[in-house]
Amino acid sequence: SAVISQKPSRDICQRGTSLTIQCQVDSQVTMMFWYRQQPGQSLTLIATANQGSEATYESGFVIDKFPISRPNLTFSTLTVSNMSPEDSSIYLCSFQDRAGNTIYFGEGSWLTVV
């Protein structure tokens, strides 16, 4: 099965700072996705990241707050900018495999903003 890894796995961040989360896949994928899971909540899609184009953001999420890079077909980053305690969440990346019918998730990056 595919391997997808995220870094950092956990971090405690100061209010007002920014943190970049990295997501690495062991195969080339067209689309990658970033989700947020707030404490005690379900997962919500932040954006879709295609290689070579701007990310597509879901309602309620903006590029200035969550800039995304997708420099190649195996890697993506999500930055959480100017963090506040409300940004304390698990951030997960995912992708759909080439066969198109399985969606894999990374282990998540657990951020706490103090």
Residue recorded with tokens 């961040």: 13
Instruction: Give the one residue of 42, 52, 64, 86 binding other proteins; rule: CB under 8 A.
Output: 42
Output 17 or 30, the one with its CB closest to other proteins. 30
Which tokens sit at 15?
Answer: 């209010």
Alpha-carbon separation of residue 76 from 14, 80, 84, 106, 114 (angstroms): 23, 13, 23, 12, 26
Q: Which of 10, 40, 19, 33 is nearest to 84 (CA)?
A: 19
Helix, strand, coil share of the chain (percent; to 5) = 5, 50, 45
Taking contact as CB under 8 A, which single stretch among the options 44-52, 60-68, 69-77, 79-87 is the one that binds other proteins? 44-52
76 near other proteins (CB under 8 A): no
Interface residue with other proteins among 83, 92, 111, 113 (CB under 8 A) is: 92
Q: Candidates 17-25, 64-72, 80-88, 90-98 — which segment interacts with other proteins by CB under 8 A? A: 90-98
Residues engaged in binding other proteins (CB under 8 A):
31, 33, 35, 41-45, 48, 90, 92, 94-96, 100-108, 110
